[in-house]
Amino acid sequence: MTTMIPTWVDGTLTPVEKLEAHVKGLRHKAVSVFLICDGHVLIQQRAAGKYHTPNLWANTCCTHPYWGEDPRFCAIRRLEEELGIKGVDPVWVENLEYRADVGGGLIEHEVVDLFVIHCDTRPDMDLNPDEVQAVDWLDRAALETKIAKNPDQFTPWLQIYMSKHSASVFGPT
C-alpha cells in the first residue's frame, strides 16, 4: 500500500508518496507525541524492520498524517497502531520544523505538530512488533544523559527535540 503524505512541492501542499518525500528530502507534515506519566516519558525502540532508523530509540510516537487527516486524530490513531494505547488525550503544544539525515540516503524534512499527553497512571500497551520492539520510561535527566553518552542509539529527531524543544515537552526547568 502506498502512503500519500502532505508535502510541499513548489510551495503548494500536495500528496506525495512517503518514501519519495524522504528520498528527495521534501518538506512534509509530521506528528510527534510524548506521553508523560509521573515525570517519566515513554520512549520506544523502533522495530528492526523499519525502513529507516531501525533499532533506534525515539519519542513515544512519531508519524506522518495521511493526506487530509487531522494531526490530533493521526496522533491518536498511531498511538493505538504502534503501541496499543487507547483512551488518551493528546494536547497540541507547538508546530516546529527540522531537517535531519536519517541514513540510507533518506532525509526527514518535517513540519511537526507536537503533542504531549500527561497521564496519572501508565497506560496498558500492546506493542505492534512491526513498529516497536521495546519501550522504556525515563525521566528527563536520565533521557538527556543517555542521549549524551550514546547518541547513536537515538533517532536524530529525538535528539533535536531534547536539545531544542525539551521545554515544550517537559516544561521549563
Flag whether 111 is in a domain: yes
Which of 61, 62, 82, 108 is the catalytic position?
A: 62
Q: Is 110 a catalytic residue?
A: yes
Place of cell 544523559: 145
Flag whether 30 is in a domain: yes
- What range does the domain containing 78 cover? 4-166
Any idea which of 2-16, 39-53, 138-152 has the lowest mean pLDDT? 2-16
- Please state at what angle helix 140-149 crosses helix 156-164, rounded to 10 degrees: 130
- Closest to 161 measured CA to CA, from 20, 12, 18, 33: 33
Flag whether 171 is in a domain: no
Q: Quick one: pLDDT band at residue 173, thresholds 50, 70, 90?
A: low
- Assign residue 126 the CATH number of its domain: 3.90.79.10
Flag whether 66 is in a domain: yes
Flag whether 172 is in a domain: no
The number of domains in the chain is 1
Convert the pLDDT of each residue in 21-76 to its tens digit. 999 999 999 999 999 999 999 999 999 999 999 999 999 999 999 999 999 999 99
Which of 81, 108, 110, 144 is the catalytic position?
A: 110
Flag whether 173 is in a domain: no
Q: Quick one: pLDDT band at residue 3, thresholds 50, 70, 90?
A: confident
Distance CA 123, CA 83 (A): 10
Contact predicate 157/110, CB 8 Å = yes
